[in-house]
Amino acid sequence: MKKFLVMAVMAIMALGVSAQVYVGGSIGAWRDGSSKLTHINILPEVGYNLNDTWAIGTVIGWDYKHQHEASLNLVKFDPYARYSFIKSGNLSLFVDGGIDLGFGKAKFGDDSSDTAVTYGIGFKPGVSYALSDKCSLVAHFGFLGYLDGNDEAKAAGNLVGYEYGWGFNFSNNLSFGFYYNF
Supply the pLDDT for residue 112: 76
Half-sphere exposure (CA, 13 Å, Cβ side) for 142? 13
Query: Reduced to 3 states, what is the DSSP secondary structure of residue 13?
Result: helix
pLDDT in tens, the chain (182 residues): 555 454 544 544 444 444 599 999 988 888 888 878 888 999 999 999 999 999 999 999 999 988 888 888 999 999 999 999 999 999 999 999 999 999 999 888 887 777 899 999 999 999 999 999 899 999 998 889 999 999 888 887 766 667 788 988 776 667 888 999 88
**What would you report as the CA-atom Rg of the chain, rounded to the nearest whole angstrom?**
19
Q: Does domain 2-181 fall into CATH 3.30.420.480?
A: no
Supply the pLDDT for residue 100: 94
**Domain range annotation of the chain:** 2-181
Alpha-carbon distances of 32 from 35, 93, 179, rounded to whole Å = 6, 31, 28
Strands 165-181 and 135-149: antiparallel
For residue 131, give the H/E element and its range.
Answer: none
Dihedral sign (CA 92, 164, 78, 11): negative
Question: What does pTM read for this prediction?
Answer: 0.81
Supply the pLDDT for residue 172: 60
Amino acid identity of residue 182, one-letter, is F
Nearest to 156 by CA among 71, 98, 76: 71
How does DSSP classify residue 150?
-
Nearest to 47 by CA among 85, 78, 76: 78
